[in-house]
Structure 1
Amino acid sequence: MVLLHAASGVTTAAPETTPRPPLERGIEVALAEISDLSASTAISAAAAAVIMPSLAAQLRPQIRPVSPQILAAAARPMDLSPVAPEVTLRPMMRTPELMQQVLFGRAKKRRGSVCGVLDIQGEVAGDIPGKLKGCGAKNAVRVRSVSGVALSTPALMTCDTAKALNKWVARDVETAFGRSNRVVRLRVAAHYSCRTRNNRPGAKISEHGRGRAIDISGFTLENGTTVSVLKGWLDKPTRKALRRMWKSACGPFHTVLGPESDIYHRDHFHLDTARHRSGRYCR
């Protein structure tokens, strides 16, 4: 075949124009029917002029139907008020009386704050001398409440300990039993006390004797219920919250001891800010 084609000497050139694609099958059939009809019946040019526009109209895309949303909007009464306000309502300005109460309350809170934190309410106690060697606290404060949660008794401690207590209460304690039943009071079992660890003769000075520790034995809720560490640690309704609080205290505080640490702490949380070479000590 190749030899015959070469022998013929005919060179195939590209077409001058691109061939038009074949018409769609439906159109071909229609035109064929028209051609056959013209050939068989010899219809006039006027009849063909009538058929072709009709065929073209059938091939045009149909108009999209009107959506139900547009019909519903068109049928909506004109005097019906909109669902949302047409303009954003501006909040009413606070009255001068309310502003005065807010400023007065803030000023009162500032006067009662210690350690430079508004949420730590109490009074300055100054330097506390120790009866035993190693006891005492410098620049101590007597704390009444932290983050709006009252202490059952004013607790004597350093500012570092007060700030740790405030952070723990605000972040993990206040809403430990639910936002609808907040903690409103901490039961303080011990704070500053010049003594040895666990009151054992010959033992090292406790962090309580340096103002760096506080013991919490219970939590009073808004509904008046008091959850004790001794009982609540094992009770099903409260044990998860207490264990979560105990665990979260190991962060703001450097030493955290709970009911499972030893027999001395089975009824309270011991929290202190003593620093250890090996890091935080939490049991």
Structure 2
Amino acid sequence: MSSTLSRIIKWLLFLAVVAGAVLTRPWEYIPPEWHPLEPLAIEHPMTLVTKWKLGRIKDDPQQCLAVLEAAPEGAIDYLALEDYTPVAGCPLTNVVRVSNTGVRFSSTFTITCPLAVAWVMFERQQLQPLAQQHLGSALIQVDHFGSFACRNIYHREGARRSQHATAGAFDVAAFRFENGQQVSVLSHWADDEAPAKSAFLKETHDAACGYFGTVLGPDYNQPHENHFHFDTSGFGFCR
């Protein structure tokens, strides 16, 4: 077979493949959570592509707000805020004020829009199922230590700024359930007398690692013995 004929056959095969792709349009059958060109949605299961999209909305405030605006009814009650500087040296950008999500909070708080998206996805896809699995009841309230704090990490002079300085972190201390049960990170993380509560906390911590860039808990260090720290920095630091 001549080299010219061989090249012609290769081109014909290539054109056949292209024509087949155009006619069958296989990209239309890719689930949206796996499709890199589909916008992120609260209801998308967490995949590598979903997590990549979560990272991208950090740099696209309008797209992030669009995700919240399209959230299912009752998923989040929030107010989008203009960029502002509440404390000198700690400007806030791309933030929202959260009143409640599918649960109540011990107080309202301000967090970055991407962190709000990650929280709502985590709450709906992991927290509520884990609540039913381990406590046999719906989660109705989250007690927290806040989000924004203009400070360095561990309040150390000369240290780098904490993620809290940009409202990019959220500290969760306890959970309250519809059947009256309460679960505290401080009291129940390693409570052998309440194995269901301990299991709920540990599985909550592990599940959060798929939604937040950094997750810290009691096993990390003493300052985190009474809360979970969730933030969107990094990519999978889970301790």
Q: Which runs of 5+ in 1 are unaligned?
A: 1-112
Identify the residue that residue 199 of structure 1 maps to in structure 2.
155
Alignment of 1:186 onto 2:145: no
Post-superposition CA distance 1:57-110 (Å, at most 9, x none):
xxxxxxxxxxxxxxxxxxxxxxxxxxxxxxxxxxxxxxxxxxxxxxxxxxxxxx
- 1:77-92 aligned at under 5 Å gives the runs none
In the alignment, the residues of structure 1 paired with residue 231 and residue 202 of structure 2 have an alpha-carbon distance, to the nearest angstrom, of: 18
Alignment of 1:224 onto 2:180: yes
Q: Find 1:115's aligned residue among 55, 64, 68.
A: 68
Q: Secondary structure at the match of 1:174?
A: helix
Going from structure 1 to structure 2, the CA distance change for 1:130 and 1:205 (only over 3 Å counts) comes to farther
**What TM-score, normalized to structure 2?**
0.65
Identity %: 31
* Aligned-partner residue type, residue 237 of structure 1: A
C-alpha displacement of 1:114: 8.5
Contact 1:149/1:174 (8 A) holds in 2? no
Q: Secondary structure at the match of 1:177?
A: helix
In the alignment, the residues of structure 2 paired with residue 207 and residue 214 of structure 1 have an alpha-carbon distance, to the nearest angstrom, of: 9
Contact 1:151/1:187 (8 A) holds in 2? yes
Q: Find 1:165's aligned residue among 119, 122, 137.
A: 119
Identify the residue that residue 143 of structure 1 maps to in structure 2.
98
Contact 2:213/2:231 (8 A) holds in 1? yes
* Aligned-partner residue type, residue 122 of structure 1: Y
- 1:29-40 aligned at under 5 Å gives the runs none
Q: Find 2:224's aligned residue among 265, 275, 283.
A: 265
Q: Secondary structure at the match of 1:176?
A: helix
* Aligned-partner residue type, residue 115 of structure 1: L
Q: Secondary structure at the match of 1:240?
A: helix
In the alignment, the residues of structure 1 paired with residue 212 and residue 160 of structure 2 have an alpha-carbon distance, to the nearest angstrom, of: 20
In the alignment, the residues of structure 2 paired with residue 144 and residue 131 of structure 1 have an alpha-carbon distance, to the nearest angstrom, of: 22
**What TM-score, normalized to structure 1?**
0.55
CA RMSD of aligned residues (A): 1.8
Contact 2:146/2:170 (8 A) holds in 1? yes
Contact 1:175/1:181 (8 A) holds in 2? no
In the alignment, the residues of structure 2 paired with residue 257 and residue 132 of structure 1 have an alpha-carbon distance, to the nearest angstrom, of: 28
- 1:9-158 aligned at under 5 Å gives the runs 115-116=68-69, 117-118=71-72, 119-129=75-85, 131-133=87-89, 135-146=90-101, 148-158=102-112
Contact 1:176/1:183 (8 A) holds in 2? no
* Aligned-partner residue type, residue 191 of structure 1: S
C-alpha displacement of 1:265: 0.3
Contact 1:214/1:271 (8 A) holds in 2? yes
Identify the residue that residue 254 of structure 1 maps to in structure 2.
213
Identify the residue that residue 40 of structure 2 maps to in structure 1.
none
Q: Find 2:131's aligned residue among 174, 177, 194.
A: 177
C-alpha displacement of 1:188: 1.2
In the alignment, the residues of structure 1 paired with residue 166 and residue 120 of structure 2 have an alpha-carbon distance, to the nearest angstrom, of: 19
* Aligned-partner residue type, residue 127 of structure 2: V
In the alignment, the residues of structure 2 paired with residue 259 and residue 216 of structure 1 have an alpha-carbon distance, to the nearest angstrom, of: 12
In the alignment, the residues of structure 2 paired with residue 114 and residue 152 of structure 1 have an alpha-carbon distance, to the nearest angstrom, of: 25
Q: Which runs of 5+ in 2 are unaligned?
A: 1-65
Q: Secondary structure at the match of 1:234?
A: coil
Q: Secondary structure at the match of 2:130?
A: coil
Which runs of structure 1 show a deviation greater than 6 angstroms over 4 or more consecutive aligned residues?
none
Contact 2:175/2:183 (8 A) holds in 1? yes
Going from structure 1 to structure 2, the CA distance change for 1:158 and 1:219 (only over 3 Å counts) comes to same
* Aligned-partner residue type, residue 144 of structure 1: S
